[in-house]
Amino acid sequence: GGVHSTTELWVTAIDVATGDLQPQASENLLVELAEGTLEAPDTQAVPMLSAQLARVAAMVNERRRREQAERSQENEALVQARIASEQRSVGIKIRRVDERRAKMSESADLRLRRMLEGQARNLRQDLDDGAAKYEARRRLTLSVETVALVLLEGPA
């Protein structure tokens, strides 16, 4: 949901020994992935990582919660701005049609009168319906999916 749909790659790296967050390792992993220089480690021994995985999951959940709150506020502001902009635009169009109708003489062509009345009616309906078309975009959802688990060896 939301005004803009996006897909992002989040990297959460921790030191297996300490459980501390390693932001530089996250950045390095993304750089190596982008450059195509990421290589498989020589070792085949994978330590038991259950406690560390639980810690990473907790970190990711906390980040998702923060991002959801922040982006929901940003999304709501965007939706409100779009609604206000559309209302201003339609309001200007209504005023123009009303001005044309007011300047018309009584002897003006009936077809022209009806056309302008129809335009004004349709624009007023657009004004009433404007907020409703953005209602679905108010509901922002943020989902997180684990794509890969990578064990890095060497310095961060």
* Alpha carbons 50 and 64: distance in angstroms, whole number: 21
What's residue 125's pLDDT? 93
Kindly state the average pLDDT of the residues 14-34. Answer: 81
To the nearest whole percent, how much of the chain has pLDDT over 70? 84
Confidence of residue 45 (pLDDT cuts 50, 70, 90): very low
Instruction: List Cα–Cα distances, 120 to 58, 99, 110, in angstroms.
Output: 55, 11, 15
pLDDT: is 156 or 38 the higher one? 38
Q: pTM for the full model? A: 0.60
What's residue 149's pLDDT? 65
Give 21's strand partners.
14
What's residue 87's pLDDT? 92
Confidence of residue 123 (pLDDT cuts 50, 70, 90): very high
Residues 6 or more apart in contact with residue 120 via CB below 8 angstroms? 94, 97, 98, 101
pLDDT: is 136 or 67 the higher one? 67
- Which is nearest to 25 in space by CA: 38, 42, 36? 38
* Alpha carbons 93 and 27: distance in angstroms, whole number: 50
What 3-state class would DSSP assign to 14? Answer: strand
